[in-house]
Structure 1
Amino acid sequence: MNDYIILALCWSLFYAVHSLMAASKLKRILKEKLGQHMKWYRLFYSLLSILLLMGIGLVSIKIPTQKILSESQFLLYFGYLFATFGTIIMVKSSKGWSLKSFLGFKPVDQNEELFQSGWYARVRHPLYLGLAMIFLGYFLVAGTGAALTHFVCLALYLPIGIYFEEQNLVDQFGQEYIEYKKEVPAFFPKLKK
């Protein structure tokens, strides 16, 4: 049980750092303090996230495998189905932006437009939706306590992450994003356009 608590604490640290570093208020303060060096902020953020995720991976590997779901063809089928569909959603919804900018190797375009097509026409946070489906699929396939811990931590964080991300998006896009919020659901996609 202690292993799962440590894993949950690691995820809590990751999500807290993620929310804090993505906050537009912190970015404004740092921009004033760092000036020209602010161009390295996104790269630092990406590298720190990768290190934290590697730490979570190491903690996960050290947890003894303890099955909590019986293996069945039904669970395997739906697990792979969720994980595959989640991956497709993430790949398709990330096609419109630059990986170099996302990772911090290239400055973010300050005049970027609000994505409202593709998966973004059905759900405001397709990357979170895809990630949740992958984590759920992983749990159904692996059936372990660690996989359940990963999924539960993500499920608990999503409303918090969405809240903070939407504050940033309203700051960035203003009324356009407020109107978009009225038309498109946050997490569960609308099936008809």
Structure 2
Amino acid sequence: MANLLMILSWVLFYSLHTALASGKLKRFLEAKWPQEMKWYRLFYTLFSVVFFLGILIQALFLPNQPFIEGSPYLSYAGYMLATLGVVLASRSFKEISLSFFFGLSGKGPDASEKLIIRGIYSLVRHPLYLGMVLIFVGYCLVSGSVGSLIHLSCLAVYLPFGIYFEEKNLLRKYGSAYLDYQKSVPPFFPIKLKKGH
């Protein structure tokens, strides 16, 4: 039952996260309350952080059911992947304005900010998501628990949808500049596959 509740919590978190990031919702709210919308990003961030912390607290009460037998090699690989994930996530924040990202700038949700294509963003379009995946995979290898597998599986199911809707918003915001960026930089892994002749 605890595992099912954890799955439902992640489904609710990711659904609300995507709905609140929706361009349509933001445009609707901006038409209704233009003055208040300058704090929308801050509300969105606070909501996400509080909900995410709630999920972390809930995870503490999951039964410790192993799904793979632990080994020093798996643990070592897990720690390495999780560390790489933290580095990638940190590097992705290094290139952006944190006050804007967290909504502390008092600008609207669609306020104009220059498209960032330098640093880690010159290698992948979504380094923060890639960092999260590596952290969750690393945690899964170290823990070997059903709970860690649930966290990873829910993230893996959500990411294609999250990236799709985020890129839709970015295309609307940056237009042809983002389209060119999409063509030259891969979304997730910094590997370009050559197209066959």
Is residue 144 of structure 2 the alignment partner of residue 139 of structure 1? no
Alpha-carbon contact 1:43-1:104 (below 8 Å) kept? yes
* Structure ranking higher in helix proportion: 1
Distance 2:99 2:113 in 1: 15
Is residue 19 of structure 2 the alignment partner of residue 39 of structure 1? no
Report the CA distance between 1:134 and its aligned residue. 0.3
Is residue 98 of structure 2 the alignment partner of residue 126 of structure 1? no
Q: Percent identity?
A: 45
Is residue 101 of structure 2 the alignment partner of residue 94 of structure 1? no
Q: CA RMSD in A?
A: 1.5
Distance 1:108 1:96 in 2: 19
Structure 2 counterpart of 1:156 = 157
1:100-147 per-position Cα deviation (integer Å, ceiling 9, x unaligned):
222222134833111111111111111000000000000001111110
In structure 2, give the amino acid aligned to 1:156: V
Structure 2 counterpart of 1:82 = 81
| TM-score where L is the length of structure 2 | 0.92
Q: Which runs of 5+ in 2 are unaligned?
A: none
In structure 2, give the amino acid aligned to 1:181: Q
Alpha-carbon contact 1:122-1:191 (below 8 Å) kept? no
Is residue 68 of structure 2 the alignment partner of residue 69 of structure 1? yes
SS of residue in 1 equivalent to 2:33? helix
1:52-111 per-position Cα deviation (integer Å, ceiling 9, x unaligned):
112211221111111222111110111001000011011111112222222222134833
Structure 1 runs (4+) deviating above 6 angstroms are none
Deviates most, 124-133 or 36-45: 36-45
Distance 1:126 1:34 in 2: 33
Deviates most, 96-105 or 164-173: 96-105
In structure 2, give the amino acid aligned to 1:182: K
Distance 2:34 2:9 in 1: 32
Distance 1:113 1:141 in 2: 39
Report the CA distance between 1:191 and its aligned residue. 7.2
1:137-177 per-position Cα deviation (integer Å, ceiling 9, x unaligned):
00001111110100000011010000000000001100111
Distance 2:44 2:112 in 1: 21
